[in-house]
Amino acid sequence: MKIVRFNGGRIGVVKGENIVDVTDALGVDPAAWPPIAMVNVIADYERKLKNLDVGSLNATIPFASAKLETPVPWPNKVIAFPVNYHKHAVEMNSPDSYRANTQGFFLKPCSSLSGASDPIVLPDLPGREIHHECEIAIVIGKEGRMISEKDAYDHIFGYACLLDIVVRGSEERVMRKAYDTFCPVGPYITTKDEIPDPRAIGMKLWVNDELRQHANTRDLVVDIPGMIAMASSVMTLYPGDIIASGTPEGVGPIVAGDKVRIAIENVGEMTVDVVGNGGGYTPVFVDKRTTVKS
């Protein structure tokens, strides 16, 4: 099932070229704040949406006409893995000891989440490069702590495309990755039953028509069960939590006017516009032409 959030907090199921609007059938109030409806939809999936007779609902709209919003705008957390592909480590000149398996993970603020129809808004930081990172989002479906690798797939709800956007430099990583719209996720969540083999998911990223990144989850340093085991060794994972896998090699700058396209096999595809003039000046990011990169 492909579950989409659209047009001001509505929830839908993608059927071919259309979205079947299940907002009313699930009793969701799209205007409720905080916007936790999708967290509840995920937590109650087996009992509610999975068994809903979506075919009997005639509230459909064309997918192409919908404003696609980030699927889970208010998760408990967004966990992100750095340096999780060896070739990305090489391009960043990371020391051999600096990999996700020895460094662990970081967090991105939930306020950085945006959707497929939202532009990436670049802050005005003269002299600084802002890069794209092509990642897969793993969406948690079942609460758990100290989850074994063997049990990890039981805790996954589904997958989505994720762009981890970052101001390159040596300042605190979380701040460099925290601007609003620096975590586009979408275009919807594809439930795990539609992914034949999560150990071998191919993904690609283009900027305009240039293929920049091309990878497969089989090349991850810490694989998907390993990420869930590591994160849950520290924290309870809740339905709706998002794990960003880490990027493969091929990262590079984006500028206003670019279109970033990400496509993940069996998961989905989205194209996100890049716009400028986002403000956001802070003396922390004054042009330092830093030599240390991450």
Binding mask 193-212 for Mn ion (x = CB under 5 A): --------------------
CB of 245 to Mn ion, least distance (A): 8
Q: How far apart are CA 263 and CA 257, in angstroms?
A: 20
- The reply on whether position 223 binds Mn ion by CB under 5 A is no
CB of 133 to Mn ion, least distance (A): 4
Helices (H), 44-157: 86-91, 100-103
Q: E strands of the chain, at which residues? A: 2-6, 10-15, 18-21, 60-62, 68-69, 78-80, 106-108, 113-114, 120-121, 130-132, 134-140, 156-163, 166-167, 183-191, 202-207, 210-216, 242-244, 252-253, 259-264, 268-275
Q: Which stretch binds Mn ion (CB under 5 A): 56-64, 148-156, 163-171, 205-213?
A: 163-171
Name which of 69 and 133 has its Cβ closer to Mn ion: 133
Q: Which residue is nearest to Mn ion (CB)?
A: 164
Q: How far apart are CA 187 and CA 165, in angstroms?
A: 17
- Site for Mn ion (CB under 5 A): which residue of 2, 76, 247, 258? 247
| Contacts to Mn ion from residues 78-97, by CB under 5 A | none
Contact indicator for 39, 75 with CB cutoff of 8 Å: yes
Name which of 84 and 190 has its Cβ closer to Mn ion: 84
- Site for Mn ion (CB under 5 A): which residue of 21, 164, 241, 258? 164
Name which of 116 and 243 has its Cβ closer to Mn ion: 243
**Secondary structure of residue 231 in the 3-state scheme:** helix
User: 253: cis peptide before it, omega within 30°?
Assistant: no
Name which of 10 and 128 has its Cβ closer to Mn ion: 128
Letter string b/e over residues 92-109, b meaning 16 or more CB atoms within 10 A of that residue's CB: bebeeeebbeebebebbb
Binding mask 101-140 for Mn ion (x = CB under 5 A): --------------------------------x-------
Name which of 168 and 261 has its Cβ closer to Mn ion: 168
Name which of 164 and 258 has its Cβ closer to Mn ion: 164
User: Residues in the site for Mn ion, rule: CB under 5 A?
Assistant: 133, 164, 247
